[in-house]
Amino acid sequence: MKKLFLITVLLFGIIITMNSQEMTNHAIGIRFGDNDGFGGEISYQRQLSETNRFEVDLGYRDHKNFNAFKLTGIYQWLWNIDEGFNWYAGFGAGIGSWSFNNGVVSDIEDGIFINADGNIGIEYNFEIPILISLDFRPEIGIIGEYGKDTDLDLALSIRYQFN
């Protein structure tokens, strides 16, 4: 019984004294999202200050009727919830090119588009240099037919952090 108590106290002490890894200068990884089809993005984050960062995502969207390439930039604010858990919110814009798949006939023309983007999410910063996040990104079309209406993009990201 004494050994069990000692082990419990020791584990509890280790857990209390463990500090989560702080936000690093750089993180790169993959963001898997879905707004009108499956999409993957190469994602890069750059720390700007203790509570701010800039995220750039270069991605591809695949829908049954069209394909799109997109570059998105998001400025984010970061708030700590608990050790390792953070939530963030931000805004930005996206630019891209889209085209219909073969055989699709439409009055709408392919072309370039520009979106205004919002962003809100939650992330966990592991002790190892891995960051996993789940975020929601509403995209409002400004120029072009792609995303003319509001698209709601929900995504899971996994990034490697480095200084």
- Under DSSP, is residue 136 helix (H, G, I), strand (E, B) or coil? strand
For residues 133-160, average pLDDT? 87
Q: Which residue has the higher pLDDT, 21 or 42?
A: 42
Q: Which residues constitute the domain of residue 96? A: 2-162
The count of structural domains within the chain is: 1
- 63 pLDDT band, cuts 50/70/90, is confident
CATH of residue 125: 2.40.160.20
State percent of the chain over pLDDT 90.
55
pLDDT, tens only, 81-133: 998 899 999 999 999 998 877 666 666 667 899 999 999 999 999 999 999 99
- Say how far apart CA 162 and CA 54 lie, in whole Å: 15
pTM score: 0.79
Find, among 148, 129, 130, the residue nearest to 140 by Cα.
148
Where does the pLDDT of residue 36 fall: very low under 50, low under 70, confident under 90, or very high at 90 and above?
Answer: low
* The pair of three-digit structure tokens given for residue 91, joined into one six-digit string: 């805004």
